[in-house]
Amino acid sequence: MEKEDYQWLILALGILLVFGMIIKPALTHEEPNFQIPQFPAMPPLRMPTPLAIVTTQPVTIGTTQPVITIQKTTPAIPAVPTTTTEPVPTASLVWNGSKQTVEFVDPGTYNVSLTSFVPRNLSQTQSPYRIDNYTSLLASPITGQYSGTTQVINIPFQYWELWYTVETASPDLRAQAESLSSYSTVLPSFSIDVMDATNPGSVVRVVTPPGNLDPLLWQKDDPRPWKEKFLEGNNQYYFIIRANMLSSYSIDIKVPTSYLEKI
C-alpha cells in the first residue's frame, strides 16, 4: 500500500471513533460504551473421527488355472423286488459214447408240410480246420428215397460235418415222369433243412448239392459225398429232407475221431 492509502484508512477510523463515542451518545442520550463488544460464543470444536488404517498386503498373482467342478448326477436305481426267481442253468449235452439210431417221424410232429417242394440253394461252408480222420455219430446213416422228417439228433460237439450222397432215378423212371405236365417233377432235386430242435421253427441252414443232379456229369469226377461244415454244435437238431426223382439218398453225421478218443 502507498502512503496516501494509509492516510485515508486512518481518517476513516477516526471518523468511526468520533461517531461512536460522541455523536451517537449525544443523539441517543446513552453513555458511551468503551467495552469491547461481545461476540457470540463459538461452538466447541469437534475433532474429526480418525479414518481406519487399512494395511494392504502384497498379492502374488500366480498362473494357477481355475478349477471347474462338474457334479455328476447319478440316476436313481429302481427298487429291486425282494422276491426274485433265479434262472435255471441248462446243462450242456454229454456224449455217452454210444451211437444214435435215427428214424423218420410224421412231419406233423414239427408242423411241416411236404406236399409241395421248392428247390433251395446254399453254398457250402468251408471248414477252418484240416482234419484227416472222421467218425460217425450215428449207428447207421439216414437213408431213404422220399421226403421226410427225422427224429431229434443230439450233437454234443461244437464242430461237426454233414456228409450226404444221392442216387438219381433210373432212366426208366425218368422216362415215365416225362409224361407229367410239370417239368419240376422230372428234374431230380434234393435238400436238407437243418432245424434247431430247441427253438421250434428255427432253420439253422439249408443244405443242397451244388449244380444239377445229373449222373452224366459225375462219370469223370464224382463229387459225392458232399460235405457241409457246421460250427453251431452242442445242440439238438432234426432234419427236414426234401427229395424228388431220386432212387436213394444217404445222410451221415461226422465228427473228428480225436473227439471220441478224448472221452
Domain boundaries, the chain: 1-31, 104-261
Average pLDDT over residues 121-127: 45
Banded pLDDT at 167 (limits 50, 70, 90): very high
Average pLDDT over residues 90-106: 74
- In terms of Cβ atoms closer than 10 Å to its own Cβ (0-12, 13-18, 19+), residue 36 is exposed
Residue pair 248/145 in contact by the 8 Å Cβ criterion: yes
pLDDT of residue 85: 39
Q: Give the sign of the dihedral formed by CA 144, CA 150, CA 151, CA 152.
A: positive
Q: 250 versus 58: which is more confidently predicted?
A: 250
Give the separation between CA 189 and CA 207, rounded to whole angstroms.
12
Burial readout 179-213 (b: 16 or more C-beta within 10 A, e: otherwise): eeeeeeebbbbbbbbbbebeeeeeeebebbbeeeb
pLDDT of residue 140: 94
Q: Name the fold adopted by 104-261.
A: Jelly Rolls (2.60.120)
Residue 161 has pLDDT above 60, yes or no: yes
Q: 173 versus 142: which is more confidently predicted?
A: 142
Average pLDDT over residues 172-192: 64
Banded pLDDT at 196 (limits 50, 70, 90): very high
Measured CA angle at 184 (ends 183, 185), to 5 deg: 90
Banded pLDDT at 246 (limits 50, 70, 90): very high
> Residue written as cell 480418525?
50
Least reliable range by pLDDT among 132-141, 163-172, 229-238: 163-172
pTM: 0.56
Average pLDDT over residues 238-257: 95
* Alpha-carbon distances of 53 from 14, 47, 56, 262, rounded to whole Å: 56, 17, 9, 97
Residue 60 has pLDDT above 60, yes or no: no
pLDDT of residue 13: 83
